[in-house]
Amino acid sequence: KWFKGNKDLGEVVGLRKEIFGVGGEDFYDEFSFNIGIYEEDEELVGIGRLFTKDGKFYIDNFGVKEGYRNKYYGDFMLRILIRKAYDLGIERVYVECRDDTSGFFEKLGFVEEKKQGDILTLYREGDITSECCKG
């Protein structure tokens, strides 16, 4: 499910807090596309956000609820966010992540741009549709 802007983000914000231990709405939500992935029982199990900052487009607040990890929800969400960016005419998307989680993003074509401490900035260019089911 897509959430455009900061409308109806209560459930998304709640899962942000559960996954990351912090969270809440912020300035970027107003200008963002948030995605929520639901389990068959209509439980929100994954979230992510596409937004712009300093002229670049980022994916952040990206996570899957404990107990639902390693079931390809994250892979599916990331592909949808990349496709959304591509459909909006965005050629390059960025993600900032901890060094120990970079492999997940690299598996889907992200490459390192810079490293600051244990935080990496990765980017990916182009569409992902033709790469479905390779990983």
Q: Residue 41, SS3?
A: coil
Report the candidate in 112, 121, 13, 1 with the shortest Cα–Cα distance to residue 58: 121
CATH number at residue 92: 3.40.630.30
Q: Residue 23, SS3?
A: coil
pLDDT in tens, 109-134: 999 999 999 999 999 999 886 665 55
**CA separation for the pair 94, 72 (Å, rounded):** 21
- pLDDT (mean) for 24-32: 81
Domain that holds residue 99: 2-131
pLDDT in tens, 30-87: 889 999 999 998 999 999 999 999 999 999 999 999 999 999 999 999 999 999 999 9
**CA separation for the pair 103, 100 (Å, rounded):** 7
**CA separation for the pair 107, 39 (Å, rounded):** 24
Number of domains in the chain: 1
- pLDDT (mean) for 90-113: 96
